[in-house]
Amino acid sequence: MKWRAASRHLLLYFLVAAGGFLLAYLVVAFVVFPPEIVPDDAKVPQVVGLMYDDAVTRLEAAGFKAKTGEERFVELAPKSTVLAQSPPPGTTEPRGTEITLDVSAGQRQLQVPVVVGLAQALAENAIEQAGLEVGEVRQRESQSARGAVLETYPAAGQVVSPSTRVDIVVSSGPPAVNAPDVIGQPYGAARAMLEQVGLRLGDVTVDSLATGLPNSVVAQTPAAGSRVAPGSQVSLRITP
């Protein structure tokens, strides 16, 4: 009977010891080591494709913290869209871990360069160097040198998306004028008529075989009615 009593005492001692060990473990776990440093793992949720604020909310709900990582321009991703996360989704990490989120900076915006006044080839090169494309090229009469850029559409300085087509207008030179008819006019009157329309007197030759009033025009080059640029020369042949 003594061994039975001894067994009971031994069992009681064991239970007390086990209870004491469990109590000590709990004290250590929750007093010596506060709950926040006791390992508490969770799976990292998927937040790629969400807007940054929504991604932060989802991560915090799962016990994680969000940290902004790299920002880069992405043409098809609106600004603040999450592009990547690290650690990746589905991995098991301690709660409180910082999840780095790479986000979209939106679509890159470029400025139309200033090319007015440049020769067409130089202007086209500047547009392409700016990351844009040369669009339609049109001509317009102007006092600027032939081939000089007069305007761009969109205008210089405007903010546009990459690969935007920039149309340019180039000068075709000064507006053309009609050469007046000075045949039969006295030399002095013919010269005055040319100057009135912006033309210059060219070579003047005397045709010894021509008949008519002295010093009157019997021929002109270019011919009357020809379209010529302002400042062009008109040569005359006159009577002796």
- At 75, which CATH number? 3.30.10.20
Q: Do both 211 and 151 map to the same domain?
A: no
**Helix H segments across the chain?**
2-27, 52-61, 120-129, 187-196
Q: How confident is the model at residue 172 (pLDDT cuts 50, 70, 90)?
A: confident
Of 171, 196, 223, the position where a domain reaches its end is 171
Same domain, yes or no, for 102 and 122?
no
State which residues form the domain around 126.
110-171
Whether residue 31 is found in the same domain as residue 46: no
Q: Which two tokens stand for residue 181?
A: 């008819």
Closest CA to 82 of 97, 109, 102, 112: 102
Cβ atoms of 54 and 105 closer than 8 Å: no
pLDDT tens by residue, 80-124: 999 999 999 999 999 999 999 999 988 888 999 999 999 999 999
Considering the entire predicted model, what is its pTM? Answer: 0.48
49 and 86 inside one domain? yes
- The answer to whether residues 49 and 30 belong to one domain is no
Domain co-membership, 57 together with 31: no
In the DSSP assignment, the letter for residue 37 is G
pLDDT band of residue 134 (cuts 50, 70, 90) is: very high
